[in-house]
Every structure is written in structure tokens, then in C-alpha cells.
A and B are shown apart, each in its own frame.
Chain A
């Protein structure tokens, strides 16, 4: 069996590589595929063999589709083992984090929408009140989740999720690990102003971008 040779068109590949390099702050071309990241990857067994080195290769070759739509960027738990062990200091978790953002901007439906919903609900709860209220943000997350399942008519998935969360919630309640008060920080005004700035920066990237 022969597989078709990969056709690389450097002039097409380069802008994508450049964008990922700049936004993640990682020098992807320093990767020589030693696979130490793959060996250490916490979720390496969960991604169907799609390891951090392959993700870097996809970006370097300009394979935008694969890079923005693969199990690793959604399964990555940001444990930073890959980057700690990389002989060339490439922090692949920063790359998966960057590609998540790029996938969102490109309007690509996440392979694991629950992951995207979770982080969205968490950060926005933290920015809205200045502190994360676990019950409120979990409620927000479950709502987003349920709405999506309704759109896809996965009613069984909704029931299952309710069952699981209710069971956990009840145990947490019994163990007094649920908090019924409300946390807030006056500093949320400053946080909101900073977020406005972050959005403006995204619209007009400058040298101060990190």
C-alpha cells in the first residue's frame, strides 16, 4: 500500500504557523519529533493516538483543519507535563490553548462542547462577580449544556447529567461542602474594564499582545 505523499505548500502553510507561533509564544519549528511530550502526555491514552508532537507537526505543515479539529486540543487538561519535559522548551499546552481560541474564532464546533462550555462559564462567572460562585457557575454550565443537548434532541444525556450532578450535589450538601452564600469582589469593575481592554486588543493586535 502506498499512501499519497503529503503535499506541502510553504506559502500557504507559513501564515498559519506564524499565527500559532505568535499567539502561543511557542517556537514550534524547534520541534524535532523526539516524542517526549507524547510519552508524558496525561491524556495520551484518551486521544486515539493523537499526541502533542503530531499536533505540532500538523501546524508546521499548515494542516489547519487537523490542527483546529482534533481530540487533543479538547482533551488536553493543561497539566504542562509535555512542556516541562520538552528538550526545546516548547509548551504544547500553550499551543492547545491557543488552538482552542482559534477554533472558536473560526466558528468550529468543539469536538467536546462540554469542555468549551465549562471554561466559558467559569471565567465569565469569575469576571462577572469578581469571584467564582461554584453553584452559580455550575448552574450556568449545566444550562448551556442542557440547551445544546435539547438542540440535538439528546434527552437521555440530559437526564443522565441531572442524575449524576444531583447525586454528587446531594453528597456535597450532606458533607457541608456546598456554599449557599454569595461571593463577590468590588474589584469586578476593574476586572470588567480590563476585559474590555482585552477585547479591544483582540480587535486591533499590537506589540503589547502576549
Chain B
């Protein structure tokens, strides 16, 4: 099975490990991810803050490409790219005038029809099809993750049918449950990490991240699991700083969902490039494997 794939800029750069993991996991599940041709930046939140027209026009070009390439589904792992593209699609559906205006400049015009999916939606489809179960090699019973969705996975600035519960999403929990991992329930699933404020207003962002971290620790989590490259990088790269500032003693690895899935499928942390995290995650994954073999004896 082949589906269209939009990596977005961050999966080609600072979060290249997420790109590698996504391709690998889906290959294991029999899905080939084919990058859509010559895709461009989705505009992210910056476009919405500077130019409303471009906020729709930039993702529109990518949708047009995916449609003319004949894909019926495009998966977008980055939450921000996913949100922006889905919103653009809905806005264009709602305004034929806007669509005509943008189409005028596009060499590959859009008509509507392609399904824009988050990584969770595609994974859940594969799980329902029974494709995951035979691939599971390890059971990580002592993994105690909190699933961190952040903002862009469920909340949209435009009326978009959200494929999950807005306030208490379950997509990641569903995926983890399929590999026998029970996630810890907590109250900061959809809290904001501050996104780009980590760069341009670190004090605000660090305050937000410290609240998220404190709650995860209080609930007894031993790691975060996320789908958003921005959330991952923020909580990971700045953890030492915001924890020191807010007197938090614990440190928790921040995994992409693809790392947990890959590890349970028996792919080594090295092959998944888990060593590219700021807060070490390799040790925990190896400990889980050892725990499992001890239990088996």
C-alpha cells in the first residue's frame, strides 16, 4: 500500500529522526510513504499571524500536488503542518472564490478529494486492519508514558471536524494500548508548550513547560510520548533549563510515538536514532527490554 507523505521542513532538519522512524514503522506495517513532489512550507503559525491569504495559499499548493499525483490520502506527521493543511483544505471547500483565486497561480490545481491524515489516524487504521499485532516483539509493561498532544493535533482555528476528542484525545493511548502499553491519565495532554515562544519569549514558554513537566512527574510518568516535532524539541531541548529554573529534580525522555512503536517491534534504539535526544531515552528503552526478559524467565 502506498500513501502520500508530507514531511514538512522540520522532519527534514532538526527532527530528521522522526522522518526516518515514520518511514521505517510504516514500511514494517506494509505502507510505503511516498513524498509528494516539490512540496513547500505550510506557513506554520507564522503565516496566520502575518498574512491570512498566504496561510491558505501555501498549504493549498501542496494539496494540489497531492491530488494531481493521484493520492487518495496524505499523511502529515508534524502537528503544525497537519493542522495548517487541514484548515486550508476546509477553508477552500467553504470558499469557491478563494479556491479559484489561488488555483489561478498553481500549476497543479486543486479540486478537493484527498484525505489529510495525522500520523495517529493512519496508525489507528493499520491497527484496525490487524497489521500491527503480528509485528510486536516486545511488551513494555513498565513503561509509564503520559501522552502529550499539544495544541495543533486537536484544536483548530477554523471549524474542522476533529477526528479525536478535543479536550481529552485518545489517539495515542489507542495506539499504545495496541502494543500493550497503558498510558497514564493526566490533565496536561493538550496544554501548550509555548511553541516558538521558546525562542522569542523563553520565560513564558519555560513557565508553560514547567507546569506540564510537574504534572507528568506528579502522576508518576517515566516518559512523554508525542507526535509533534515542535513539542518534542521544546520539552527535550529546554528540559534541563526549565527544570533547573523551576526546581524540578526529575528528567523525562520525550519520545515520538514512532520510537515506542519501533522499539516494541524489535527495532533497536540505535536504528531508530533515539540517541539524538537531549534527555537520554536509550537507557530507558534498554531497561524495559531487560525487565521484559527477566519477567519472561
Q: Which residues of A contact B (CB under 8 A)?
A: 23, 42-43, 45-46, 75, 77-81, 83-84, 89, 91, 93-94, 97, 100-101, 112, 114-115, 117-120, 122-123, 126-127, 130-134, 138, 141, 164, 168, 171-172, 175-179, 183, 185-188, 190-191, 193-195, 197-198, 201, 207-210
Contact = CB atoms under 8 A, between A and B. Distances in A.
A93 B58 CA distance: 20
Considering residues B16, B45, B237, which has the most beta carbons from chain A within 10 angstroms of its beta carbon?
B45
Interface residues of B, number: 67
A175 B43 contact: no
A94 B45 CA distance: 11
B267 interface: no
B139 to A, nearest CB: 29
B166 A179 contact: no
Contacts of A132: 9, 41, 44
Considering residues B54, B190, B203, which has the most beta carbons from chain A within 10 angstroms of its beta carbon?
B54
Given A84-B166, A198-B54, 12 more contacts: A91-B158, A114-B200, A117-B200, A118-B46, A118-B199, A123-B46, A123-B47, A131-B39, A190-B106, A194-B61, A198-B51, A201-B53
B192 to A, nearest CB: 4
Contacts of A178: 13-14
Q: Which 9 A-B pairs have the closest CB atoms?
A: A126-B41, A179-B13, A79-B192, A198-B53, A119-B46, A80-B155, A122-B46, A114-B200, A42-B192
B3 interface: no
Interface string B196-231: 110111111101100000000000000000000000
Contacts of A187: 38-40, 61
A197 B237 contact: no
A180 B231 CA distance: 22
B277 interface: yes
B105 A100 contact: no
Contacts of A118: 46, 196, 199-200
B55 to A, nearest CB: 9
A134 B53 contact: no
Contact of A78 (B48, B51, B275): B48
Given A78-B45, A118-B200, A126-B41, A194 B192 contact: no
A197 B53 contact: yes
B41 A131 contact: yes
B201 A131 contact: no
A114 B276 contact: no
Contact of B97 (A130, A183, A208): A208
B170 interface: no
Given A190-B107, A194-B57, A210 B46 contact: no
B95 interface: yes
Contacts of B276: 175-177
B61 A190 contact: yes
A186 B196 CA distance: 27
B105 A193 contact: yes
A59 B73 CA distance: 42
Nearest to A100: B49
Given A179-B14, A188-B40, A208 B98 contact: yes
A15 B121 CA distance: 44
9 contacts: A75-B201, A79-B151, A80-B155, A83-B157, A93-B157, A185-B41, A193-B105, A197-B53, A197-B105
Contact of B50 (A120, A134, A194, A197): A120
A198 B57 contact: yes
Considering residues A78, A91, A119, A208, which has the most beta carbons from chain B within 10 angstroms of its beta carbon?
A78
B52 interface: yes
Nearest to B203: A46
A194 B102 contact: yes
A78 B157 contact: yes
B91 interface: yes
Contact of B13 (A112, A183, A191): A183
